Amino acid sequence: MWNFVYKYYVEPIIYDTGYNPVNTITWAIILGFSLFLIYKLLKRIDIPIDDRFVVSLIPYIILGSLLRVIEDMEIVSPPISYMLITPLIYFLVFALTLPPLTLYKKDIKLFVGIGILYDLIAIVFLSQGCVERAWVIPTVILVGTLVFIAIWVPLRFLLKKITTPINLAVLWCHMVDATSTYIGVDILGYVEKHVVPRALISMSNTALVMYPLKLLVLIPVLYIIDNEKSEVRNIVKLAIIVLGLAPALRNSLRMTLGV
């Protein structure tokens, strides 16, 4: 029994393997439970989950990616490094975000400023690495943005209802993420870790499949969410943004630093 638990739960947490369905389902359950708790917390302290709030969280989303790359670079050693891998890093970033969050309604600029300060401290640690591919980040952003524009133009006419600012942010983040995957897998020889994308990439023999895959999932999901009157829809969109922007930044930084 212990061997099963260790192989499928403990080992994936420590080594962040991501190579089996049990691991993926485990993270999905943790994410869903965490979203529920965050929603309840924000409702309790009366913070609206609107576009302004989502934008203010960007430095904290970036922080998660920076901390994850610090672990990838092995800058810190166990047991501290265990706090910088999935799922423990979610709780760490939440713990770092919660104290400044109490300042949000009084001074949003201070809330954002603290997040930027966190990022700068993390960048100091990352500066120990050497830049091997300076072209990666600007290329990922440029190509991802061009793909996003190519999608946004027809959406304005076909599904204008979903072209709200927060929905467009969701699509942009995931097009950038798809681009980082394409460059990493097809050009630089990295390997996709997640079960379904890895299988589709293997079947199609190219990571370009990530673009249609994301659109086939995201557009119906956004359409369904927007037709619901539930108060949780914006926090679900925020989670989808995090699931796109955070790995896109982490992937791009890893490739830039040659990790």
For residue 244, what are its two tokens?
A: 């796109």
pLDDT tens for the 259 residues of the chain, in order: 434 433 444 444 344 444 455 555 666 677 777 777 888 888 888 888 888 998 999 999 999 999 999 999 988 888 888 888 877 888 899 899 999 998 998 999 999 999 999 999 999 999 888 899 999 999 999 999 999 999 998 988 888 788 888 999 999 999 999 999 999 999 999 988 877 788 889 899 999 999 999 999 999 999 888 887 776 788 889 989 999 999 999 999 999 998 8
With CA atoms as reference, report the closest residue to 141 among 186, 181, 179, 190: 179
The predicted structure's pLDDT at residue 78:
82
Question: How does DSSP classify residue 194?
Answer: S
Residues with Cβ within 8 Å of residue 61, at least 6 apart in sequence: 241, 242, 245, 246
Domain limits, the chain: 131-259
Using DSSP's 3-state secondary structure scheme, residue 227 falls into: coil
Omega into 79 within 30° of 0, i.e. cis? yes
